[in-house]
Amino acid sequence: MKLNELKDNPGARQARKRLGRGIGSGLGKTAGKGHKGAKARTSNPKPPWFEGGQMPIYRRLPKRGFKNPIRGEFAVLNLDTLQAAVEAGKIAAGARLDAAALVESGVLRRARDGVRLLARGELTVPLILEVAHASKKAIEAVERAGGKVVLPAEPAAA
């Protein structure tokens, strides 16, 4: 087969509708738009969420809750993920790991606002982890394996 012999399957391409070309075409006169009204005009400026003048749904529904604009979004790291990375040879036992090292080794895709260490799974090799947050169980599990979790210093209370 050559490039000049390629062609679509039968019925794969459909001709566009030719509007306003006489009554015999079935799409003449009003071109399938009906009679008058905003939707029959060439420029219908109403956005797709416009509800005909009634109170829009986003104003009818109650607003609830609070979204903290300064709350960080953290990359979650579990112990079983770390253990799998050690077994795969991505991380050496006893290594000192921070967010940049975890991303570089391929354990995390991106560090976001820091790494949050959680206790799912089991860790059997000693690692020194520098993370933004860690659960108490995760810290205990890392220390049981002979490692250490380094957290950032708490800001002094004023």
C-alpha angle 91-127-143 in degrees, rounded to nearest 5: 155
Q: At residue 93, what is the residue type?
A: A
Nearest Cα neighbor of 125 from 104, 105, 147 is 147
**Domain limits for position 115:** 75-150
Question: For 113-135, how does the pLDDT look when each residue is reduced to its tens digit (9 = 90+)?
Answer: 999 999 999 999 999 999 999 99
Backbone angles phi, psi at 150, to 5 degrees: -105, 120
In a domain, residue 113? The reply is yes
Give me the sign of the Cα torsion angle 105, 109, 74, 123: negative
pLDDT of residue 99: 94
In a domain, residue 1? The reply is no
- CATH number of the domain within which 129 lies: 3.100.10.10
Q: Which residue shows structure tokens 């799998």?
A: 84
71: left (phi over 0), alpha (psi -120 to 50) or beta: beta
Number of domains in the chain: 1
The pTM is what?
0.59
In a domain, residue 82? The reply is yes
In a domain, residue 97? The reply is yes
Count of residues in the chain: 158
pLDDT surpasses 80 at 77:
yes
pLDDT surpasses 60 at 17:
yes
In a domain, residue 98? The reply is yes
In a domain, residue 104? The reply is yes
In a domain, residue 127? The reply is yes
